[in-house]
């Protein structure tokens, strides 16, 4: 894969990560513009996160198929969540948990 393609995919991966994190934080994303009538809907933020998560998994899958390293963009724990593919409440609650040497040593 040429450098241009690798750079392109890295940008897409970064965009997808930012999109998911903005959805997690209930910040404005493209989704709000696409479905303005849904903002009043109680399930809106869940849908928004689901869409952003699906997008992130799709980009990661493409990176895997292109044999491109993607894990370095995420913490070890975030990469683990992505590999499991399921957006659980744990993913939503713990996505931002910072990893220090202490937490890595005392996991479990």
Q: Give the integer Cα–Cα distance in Å for 52 and 81.
A: 14
Which has the higher per-residue pLDDT, 4 or 49?
A: 49
Question: Three-state secondary structure along 38-70?
Answer: HCCCCCHHHHHHHHHHHHHHHHHHHHHHCCCCC
User: pLDDT at residue 84 above 60?
Assistant: yes
Q: pTM for the whole thing?
A: 0.83
**Is a pLDDT exceeding 70 seen at residue 102?**
no
The encoded tokens of residue 10 equal 């890295």
pLDDT digits (tens, 9 = 90+) for 12-66: 999 999 999 999 999 999 989 998 888 888 889 899 999 999 999 999 999 999 9
């Amino acid at each position: 894969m040429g450098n241009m393609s690798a750079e392109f995919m890295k940008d897409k991966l970064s965009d997808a990560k930012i999109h998911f994190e903005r959805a997690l934080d209930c910040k404005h994303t493209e989704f709000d513009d696409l479905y303005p009538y849904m903002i009043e809907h109680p399930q809106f933020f869940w849908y928004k996160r689901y869409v952003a998560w699906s997008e992130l998994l799709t980009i990661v899958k493409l990176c895997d198929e292109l044999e491109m390293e993607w894990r370095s963009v995420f913490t070890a724990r975030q990469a683990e969540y992505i590999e499991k593919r399921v957006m659980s409440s744990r993913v939503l609650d713990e996505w931002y948990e910072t990893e220090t040497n202490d937490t890595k040593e005392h996991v479990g």
